[in-house]
Amino acid sequence: MDEARVKAFRALKPPCVELSQVALRYKGKKATTKDIINSLESLHETIKSISGQGNALDSKLADYVFFPLSHIFGDSKNLPVRAIEVALQCLQILISQGWGNQLLSELGKQLLILLCFLAGGSATDTKVKDVNEELSATAFECLSSLFQASNGAGLGANSVDSRNIPILGHTVTVMLDGVTDGPSVSVRLSALNALDSLVIGITDEEALKGIFPGIVSSLTKVLSSKSGSKPSYKVLTTSLGILTTIICKVIDNGKIDDDSSNVQQGHAMTTRRSKGETGSWATATSAQLRMALANILPLRYHDRSEVQEALMQLCTSIIQQCSISLLQSIPMLTETLVALCSHSRDGAAVFNLGSIFATNGGLLDIIKSSLHDWIVALPRVMQSNDDTKKKRTIEQISTAFKLLESHDMSLEVLNDSMAVNLRASVSAAIQASPRAHLVSESSLEVSQLIQSANTGSRSAMIFQPVLFSESSSRPTMVGLQMLAAQLQDTPMSTGFQQDIVNTLRTTSGEEQLAGLWLSLQLLNRPSAESAMVDQYLNLPPGQDSQDLLLDDVYSFSLDVLSKSTFEDEDRWKLQALGLEAVAMQARSQKEDFRPELVDALYPILERLGSNNAALQQHAITCLNTVSTVCDYPNSASLIIDNADYLVNAVTLKLNTFDISPQAPQVLVMMVRLCGSALIPYLDDLVESIFSILACYHGYPKLVESLFSVLNAIVEEAAKSSTRAIKSSIDTTTRPRVYKPSTIADIASFLSSNLVHTNHPLSAPASPPSPNSFKSSLSQKDFEPLGEPDHSPEVPADPPAPAPSKTYTLLTSITNLAPSHLTTPSPPLRTHILNLLTTALPVLASNTDTFLPIAAQLFSSITARLYDHEAYTTLAAANALATLCECAGDFLFTRVEEEWDKLLGLYKRVEREMREENRIYSKGKGKVPRGMKWRVWDGVIHLLLLVVGDVGVNEDMEDGAFEALGGLAGERKDVRSVLEGLNADALWLVEEKARRNNGGVKLEKPVKLQGIVGWEFADVDL
C-alpha cells in the first residue's frame, strides 16, 4: 500500500468507526438521527476530499467505507431522508472512484436493487410520486454512476440469464417511471441520465432488445407530450439523445444485414428459426418505430435550437445507419431534415445536409418528390390564418430548391406546377390577409407632398409594401420574396418568369394582382442565368430575355394605369404595383427612358391627385425614382421639361369634356410642383376650363375641382409677382389724410392774404373793337395747310410694355370667374372670392388694365357680402377690402352708393358677434374668438380701407365715426385711420363717450388778458 492510500485510510478510519458506533447506538436507541446525519456528513466531506487526490481511493478502501454505510442502508426505513441522501452521495463517490470496473457482479446487482428501491419504491409499487424528490434524484445519479463504472451492472455481453432479467426489467421500469412521472425536472433529468448510462453501458443485444420497446414507448410519450405543461428543453434534448443511441445500437443496418446473410447461408434449423424470429422482430419494430417517429418529428418546430439540433442528430443518425432497417421512415426523416435546415440559424446546416445526401442519391429523389407535394399544397396553406405555417412551408420549399440545385438536379418538370401554384398561393394569401381600410383622404398636405416629391434621398425611392403590409403578414411576404429571388438564379427561371408574365392579361382579380407582384419580384434584379439562356435565343442586339419580359410587364402596367379607377381596393393595389413596374423599367433604361415619359409621366402625376394616401405615396416614390434615374435635378425639373405634352394631354382630356377628377388633380399637382414656370403654358387650358364650367356648372364637385386648378394658378402667379409688386411705383390716387393746421401754416396763410391786400387787382380792359382782330392778323397767319411745320416736335411718351403671359392669364381668370359667384354652393363662392383676393394685388400693377376690372368686380363682390354663410361674408369682405386698397378713390362713387348698406352690415355682424360672445361667456374660462368675431373683424377692416383708401364725404364721415369711433381706444388701426380722417371729430366722439360714461365736463379755459374780440365757447355734446 503506497503512502497516498495509507493517508487516505488514516483519514477515513475515524469517521467510519464513528459512523459504525453511532449506527449501533441508534439501534439501541442511545443516539439520535442528528448524530447519524453529523457522522455521515463528516464521512462525506472526508471521502470528497480524498477523491480529489488522484487514485488514493481504491476498491479496498471502498469496501472499508461501505461497511458502516451498509448499516445506514439496512435501516433506511427508520432514518430520515437527509441521512439516506448523504449516504447515497458517499456511495456515488465509492462507485465512480473507488470500485470502478472492479465492482463485483453480485455486489453490483445488490446495489442495483437497493438504488431502485430508494429511487422508486419497492418492486410492487414503482411509482416515484410519493418518493422524496432530492432522495430520488440522488438515487438516480448513483444508478448512472453504477452503470458507467460496472459494465452495465453485470449486464454485459453473454451475461444475461434468468436471474438477471427481473432485475433489469425492474430497473428500467423505475427509470422510465422517473422519466415520465417524475415530480420535478431534476428527478426526470437524473432518471434520463441513468437511463442513458444504462443504454450506453449495456452490451448484451438480447437484453437491449428486451428493454427496447419500453424505452422507446416511454421516450415517445415524453417527446410527444400534448399536456398543458411542456417538458423542459433539457428533458427533450436528453430523451432524443437516448433514443438516437438505442435505435442505432438495436436496429442498425449492419445487424439486419448480418441476420439476413446468416439465414441465406443455411445454418442449422435452430439457427434459421432464431434468425427468422429476428427478421420478423425487426419488421414489426420498424413499423412501430415509424409510428413513434411520426409523433416525435413535430419537435422540428420547437423554439429551442438545442432541441432542433438533437432532433437533427436523430434523423441524421437513422438515415446514415438505419436506412435499410427503417426504410419506411426515411422519407419523413428527410423532410424533417429539410424543415430543420430551413429555419436553422447555423449557416453550415444546409452544407452538412448536402454532404449527407451526396452519398445517397435516393434521398434527393425523396426531396424532389416532397418539393412537388409542398408546392401543390402551398395554395391551401396560404388560405389558412396560420402565418407561422405559411412561413415554414415557404422556407421548406426554398431550402429544398437550394439543396436540389446544389446537386444539379433537373427541375424542369416542376416549372409548370411551380408557376401555377405559386401564383395561386400569392392569390390565396391576398384573400386571406386582413383587409386594410381604404384611406379615403390623403394624410399629406400639399406642402408636404411637394417637399417629399422633391426629395432626392435614397429612402425617397423605396416603395412601401402594397400586399402583406400588416405586421402579421410581413414574414409571409419576406419568405415569398426570398423564394422568388432564389428562383431567379435557377436554370428554370426564364421559363418560369415567362409563364407568370404571359398570364397577366388573361387573369383578373387577385390572380392578376398576384401575377403582377410575382413578376416584379422575379424581375427585380438581373438573373445570373440570363446571359446563358440568351445565347440560345434569337434576340435583337441589345436585348435579352429579362428586358423583353420587363417590357411586357411595363406595357401591361401602362394599360392598367391608363384605364383603371381609384374606387376599388384591389384596383388601386394593381395601380400601385403598376407604378413599381414603371420605376423598375426606368431604373433599367436610365436616361434612355426619357422618350417613354410621353406615355408614362401623365399616369404617374394622375396618381398624385389620388385621395388614397398609399397610392399617392407610391406615385411620389415613382416620380422620385424616374426623375433621379433620368438625371433630372428634381421632380419639378422633370415636369417643367416635359410640360408641353403634359399640358397637351390634360387639355385634350378637357377639350373632349372628360369630367373625371383626375385631370384637375394632375394640374393642381403640376402647378404646385413647378410653380410659376409652368403658368405661361396654361393659357389655352384655362379657356378649356371655363368652357367646361359653362357646360357643367350644375355639378358642384366638378366645378370646385376646376376652380382648385385656377386657385393654384393664381396663388403661384402671386408668389412670383410679389417682388415685382413691391418694387413698382404705386399710381393709385387716394384721399388726402387730414392734417391739423400748425402755427406755421396759419402764418403762411396770413402772409399770402397780406400780399393780395397790398397789390389790388387792376381794372379790366375795355373790350376790343371788331376791326382790331383784322388789323392784328398778318400774312403769315394764312400759310398753306399742306406745308410742313418745321418747328421742333415734343417727344411722345414711350409705349407701355406689353403685359406678360402670366398677367394676361390672371386677367382672363379674373374676368371670367365672377360669373360663377352666383353658384348655389357656398364653399365654391368662398373659393372664388379667395381667388380674387389673391389675384387683385397682382393685377393692380397695371392701372390702365386694372381699373376697368375693378369697376366690373365691385358689384359682384359686394353682392356676396350679404350672404347668410359667415365664411362667405368674410371672404367677400376680404376681397372687397383688397379691391378698395388697390383701386383707391376710383371706387368712390360706387362706395358712396353702397355706404348705407355697409353700415347696416356692420351693425348686423356686430350684433351677431355680441350674441356669440354672450353664449360663450356662460361657460368658464376665456371667451374664444369664433366665426362671428372673425366676420366682424373682417368688416371693420373693410370699412377702414374704404375710409383710408377710397375716401368718404361729410355724410359718410359721420357714419364712419358713429360705427367705428367707439373702437378707437381699443384698436390702433381704427385710431390711426380716424385720426387721418378728422382728428377733431375723433376727439369729440371720445369726449362724448367719456361724458356718457360719467366723466366730468371740461372747464372753460380762463380768458387771456390783453386779448379782446373773442372768448372760449361752450361745447354742447
pLDDT above 50 for 266: no
Task: Determine the pLDDT at residue 75.
Answer: 83
Residue 869 neighbours by CB distance under 10 Å: 16
Measure Cα distances from 549 to 498, 504, 553, 554, 635 in Å.
7, 12, 6, 9, 28
Selected residue with higher pLDDT from 25 and 254: 25
Grid cell at residue 197: 448510462
pLDDT above 80 for 793: no
CA distance 428 to 390: 11
pLDDT above 70 for 255: no
Sort 400 into a burial class: Cβ within 10 Å, 0-12 / 13-18 / 19+. Answer: buried
Average pLDDT of 195-205? 85
pLDDT above 80 for 597: yes
Measure Cα distances from 313 to 124, 245, 403 in Å.
38, 10, 19
Q: What is the 3-state secondary structure (H, E, C) of 429-466?
A: HHHHCCCCCCCCCCCCCHHHHHHHHCCCCHHHHCCCCC
Task: Determine the pLDDT at residue 446.
Answer: 45
Selected residue with higher pLDDT from 990 and 191: 191
Residue 534's pLDDT band, with cuts at 50, 70 and 90, is very low
CA distance 504 to 961: 77
pLDDT digits (tens, 9 = 90+) for 78-127: 888 899 999 999 988 888 888 877 788 788 888 888 888 888 766 555 45
pLDDT above 80 for 8: yes
Grid cell at residue 77: 426505513
pLDDT digits (tens, 9 = 90+) for 456-468: 566 677 888 888 7
**CB within 8 A of 59, min separation 6: which ones?**
98, 99, 100, 102, 103
**CB within 8 A of 411, min separation 6: which ones?**
368, 401, 404, 405, 490, 491, 492
Model confidence, pTM? 0.68
Kindly write down the DSSP assignment for every residue of 152-216, as one continuous string.
HHH--TT---TTHHHHHHHHHHHHHHHHHH-SSHHHHHHHHHHHHHHHHH---HHHHHHHHHHHH
Task: Determine the pLDDT at residue 862.
Answer: 93
Selected residue with higher pLDDT from 192 and 611: 192
Q: Answer yes or no: are the C-beta atoms of 668 and 689 closer than 8 Å.
A: no
Kindly write down the DSSP assignment for every residue of 340-363, as one continuous string.
HHHT-S-TTHHHHHHHHHHT-HHH
Task: Determine the pLDDT at residue 239.
Answer: 93
Residue 397 neighbours by CB distance under 10 Å: 26
Sort 199 into a burial class: Cβ within 10 Å, 0-12 / 13-18 / 19+. Answer: buried
Residue 474's pLDDT band, with cuts at 50, 70 and 90, is confident
pLDDT digits (tens, 9 = 90+) for 519-530: 998 888 644 344
Residue 435 neighbours by CB distance under 10 Å: 9
Sort 224 into a burial class: Cβ within 10 Å, 0-12 / 13-18 / 19+. Answer: middle
Task: Determine the pLDDT at residue 775.
Answer: 43
Task: Determine the pLDDT at residue 234.
Answer: 93
Task: Determine the pLDDT at residue 776.
Answer: 44
Residue 431's pLDDT band, with cuts at 50, 70 and 90, is confident
Task: Determine the pLDDT at residue 429.
Answer: 82
Average pLDDT of 151-157? 50
CA distance 325 to 254: 9
Q: What mean pLDDT value characterizes the chain? A: 79
Q: Answer yes or no: are the C-beta atoms of 713 and 813 closer than 8 Å.
A: yes
Selected residue with higher pLDDT from 323 and 164: 323
DSSP secondary structure code for residue 95 in this structure: I
Give me the helices (H) in 224-329, please. Answer: 233-250, 253-264, 269-296, 305-321
- CA 390 and chain centroid, separation: 21
Q: Which of 163-172, 183-192, 953-962 has the lowest mean pLDDT?
A: 163-172
CA distance 150 to 173: 20
Grid cell at residue 127: 411509482
Q: Answer yes or no: are the C-beta atoms of 556 and 504 closer than 8 Å.
A: yes
**CB within 8 A of 157, min separation 6: which ones?**
203, 204, 205
Sort 116 into a burial class: Cβ within 10 Å, 0-12 / 13-18 / 19+. Answer: buried
pLDDT digits (tens, 9 = 90+) for 572-584: 889 999 999 999 9
Selected residue with higher pLDDT from 597 and 167: 597
Average pLDDT of 978-1005? 77
Task: Determine the pLDDT at residue 414.
Answer: 75
Grid cell at residue 954: 361729410
Q: Among 731, 945, 683, which residue's Cα sits nearest to residue 846?
A: 731
pLDDT digits (tens, 9 = 90+) for 585-594: 999 999 999 9
Q: Answer yes or no: are the C-beta atoms of 195 and 179 closer than 8 Å.
A: yes
CA distance 620 to 608: 7
Residue that is written with C-alpha cell 383626375 in the block: 662
Task: Determine the pLDDT at residue 105.
Answer: 78
Residue 531's pLDDT band, with cuts at 50, 70 and 90, is very low
**∠ Cα 527 533 537 (to 5°):** 130
Selected residue with higher pLDDT from 362 and 53: 362
Among residues of the chain, what percentage have pLDDT more than 70? 77
pLDDT above 90 for 427: no
pLDDT digits (tens, 9 = 90+) for 481-511: 888 887 776 766 777 788 888 888 888 888 8
Q: Among 277, 275, 288, which residue's Cα sits nearest to residue 212?
A: 288
What is the rounded end-to-end Cα distance, in angstroms, of the chain? Answer: 140
CA distance 404 to 402: 6
pLDDT above 70 for 434: no
Q: Answer yes or no: are the C-beta atoms of 553 and 516 closer than 8 Å.
A: yes
Measure Cα distances from 616 to 267, 440, 609, 621 in Å.
86, 11, 7, 9
Residue that is written with C-alpha cell 417511471 in the block: 177
The domain segmentation of the chain, as residue ranges, is 440-532+541-620, 642-727+804-845
